[in-house]
Amino acid sequence: MKKLTIISTIILGMAVASCDSYLDINQDPNSPTEENMTPSIMLPAAEMGLAATYGNLLRIPGGYFSQHYAHMFGTSNYVDYSQFTMSPVRSSSAYSQLNRVALKNLQTIKNLAEKNEEWGTVLAATTLRCFTLQALVDCYGSVPYSEALDISNSSPHYDEGSVVYEGILKELDEALAKANANDVVATNFLYKGQNAANWIKFANALKLKILSRESGVASVDAQIAAIISEGNLPTEDVAYTSCWSNETGQMNPYFSEEFSTSFGSTQINVTANLALVGTMQLKDANGDVVYEDPRLAAFFDPNSSGEFTGGVSGTNFSTTDNYKSAYWCRPKMAYNSPVYLITVAETEFFIAEYFARKNDVASAAAHYAAAVQASFASAGVGGADEYIARNPYDQGAYKKVLGIAKWVALAGVNNFESWCELRRLRYPAFGTVTGAQLYNIDTDAYAPQLYQPGTLYTPIQVDGNIGNNHLIERWPFASSSSSSNGNAPKFENADYLKPIFWAQQ
């Protein structure tokens, strides 16, 4: 495995090669020795710490747990993920990177900016910090928060996710209250050379996501309505785009992990999952394609025969000539592919869901259509109207319509967020066909025609803690934290199936 090497190299490479005055990430920003340490030196490195982890170490398991991805033959790198398994050791890299490189640096930046009343930079650091904390809650359920900033406390208390959500909403509100659109923001990669206007929109979109996540367990519709009414939300996807280059350590982190040979690896691990392919490409009884979602070709490359084929979760297939790598479809990635934080499509889906809860059918349908159109636009393809005609908005089944459409839309841009929304909306739901029926590992018999479009299925050799017709609901606490923190909660095997607080409906 090469994850830690890649992440460290990406962060250092971007910080040094792209802007040679940036922080050397090997120096602890919380104990700087240089008198001239500034937010402009530190923020780009903190951003890359977030992008390198969120865009890779969260994306990969998110893709397998969402059944966007299946595993190729002959390697074992992510077979555990495809079986819905996550171990404390496996989760440690992401946890450590997000805490050490992102959260600690962002808090230092925020503190420095507050001293100088640089409110645009305070907002930027706060928004990224709250984004990171939400991602951690959505993985683990509870994380250190209220005591996390006390450097004298080596065993900070783990706060329940609902407490963290309440705290980060307050942090965002406080930062937004002080920032103006024309405020200067320290040097950064996300909105290069721009003032705080787009950071305000990003913060509002993040608030909308946080509130929407907890809308099933808390009375937050008034707050959501206020954000929608104000309308100051991103009109373009919030994503790291122009900061990548075709150099070792400076590529999109997922591309560097899975596709680049810069680190000497030639392993091919990831293929499209049959669940996704079978939903985006519909066939008749004769096996002829009657509809193909144009985004499928934007999300995945066809196989060597020019066809789209999907693997089955829970195995890495056989090493027979039938199902070697040329048979499968790889995610379409490039060295400069964006790392998406929040897309316009996601925001529109959240707004559609709000109006659906209010039984405002016309508004819900309009924002559902806007979400689909934004997804197609991000993918750079046409055909949104046909998708909407084939999958019309249905108020009586709005969670199903929105859930499946969001699951498809996120497949090519943000697999981690898809796993979060699957756990919350519960769509796509599990069908009646199992992974073992779709592929028999003993006879090498592959039966994709049995797949039911718009459903999930139990993986072959699914993790025993998960069982049939269940998603993995949370990650076990990272061993890098629990082994040294006496206040880390005990994680029981049953906790794998315990929903995060916002999904406990």
- In this prediction, residues 256-276 reach a mean pLDDT of 85
Which has the minimum average pLDDT: 25-29, 374-378, 424-428, 497-501?
A: 25-29
CA dist., res. 110 & res. 172, Å (int): 12
CA dist., res. 299 & res. 310, Å (int): 13
Tell me the pLDDT band of 265, cut-offs 50, 70 and 90: low
Give tens-digit pLDDT for 79-128: 999 999 999 999 999 999 999 889 999 999 999 999 999 999 999 999 99
Q: Note the pTM of the prediction, 2 decimals.
A: 0.93
The percentage of residues in the chain with a pLDDT greater than 70, rounded to a whole number, is 91
SS (H, E, C) 427-495: CCCECCCCHHHHEECCCCEECHHHCCCCCECCCCCCCCCCCCCCCCCCCCCCHHHHCCCCCCCCCCHHH
pLDDT of residue 10: 44
pLDDT of residue 340: 98
pLDDT of residue 483: 86
Tell me the pLDDT band of 25, cut-offs 50, 70 and 90: very low
- In this prediction, residues 368-394 reach a mean pLDDT of 98
153 bridge partner residues: none
Tell me the pLDDT band of 321, cut-offs 50, 70 and 90: low
Give tens-digit pLDDT for 37-58: 799 999 999 999 999 999 999 9
CA dist., res. 73 & res. 71, Å (int): 7
Average pLDDT, the chain: 91
pLDDT of residue 35: 53
CA dist., res. 350 & res. 338, Å (int): 22
